[in-house]
């Protein structure tokens, strides 16, 4: 099959084990990509913590939340998982998701999630 797939970036902020309010912002509400292309979904967050986790989840039209990738803020390597990789910039507090070789099944809502360390 061919044609563009739609990718939506949306945001969700949660905070576990922390009293500090965290925010995640959404630079772009919608991204689109042609099949087999590469797309990057940006996520910016704010925190005063140094130990935390960042996640990307996707929610396909069928509704369930699907885990994609997790980054520990202390890790000195960008997390990767199959066709997914992240660009984690701790200083800049940016956490983008890169999807390569995009497929129709990638059309979904994408959620950038912040979780404080336990």
Binding site for ligand NAG (CB under 6 A): 76-78, 87-89
Closest separation in Å from C-beta 85 to ligand NAG: 9
Task: Rank residues 39 and 108 by Cβ distance to ligand NAG and give the closer one.
Answer: 39
Closest separation in Å from C-beta 90 to ligand NAG: 6
Nearest-CB residue for ligand NAG? 78
Task: Rank residues 15 and 78 by Cβ distance to ligand NAG and give the closer one.
Answer: 78
Token pair of 30, please?
A: 């919608």
Task: Rank residues 87 and 115 by Cβ distance to ligand NAG and give the closer one.
Answer: 87
């Amino acid at each position: 099959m061919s044609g563009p797939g739609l990718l939506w970036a949306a945001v969700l902020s949660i905070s576990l084990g922390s009293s500090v309010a965290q925010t995640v912002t959404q630079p772009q509400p919608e991204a689109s990509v042609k099949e087999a292309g590469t797309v990057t979904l940006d996520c910016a967050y704010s925190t005063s913590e140094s130990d935390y986790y960042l996640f990307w989840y996707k929610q396909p039209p069928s509704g369930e939340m699907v885990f994609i990738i997790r980054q520990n803020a202390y890790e000195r390597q960008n997390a990767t998982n199959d066709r997914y990789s992240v660009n984690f910039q701790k200083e800049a507090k940016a956490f983008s998701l890169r999807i390569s070789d995009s497929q129709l099944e990638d059309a979904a809502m994408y959620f950038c999630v912040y979780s404080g360390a336990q």
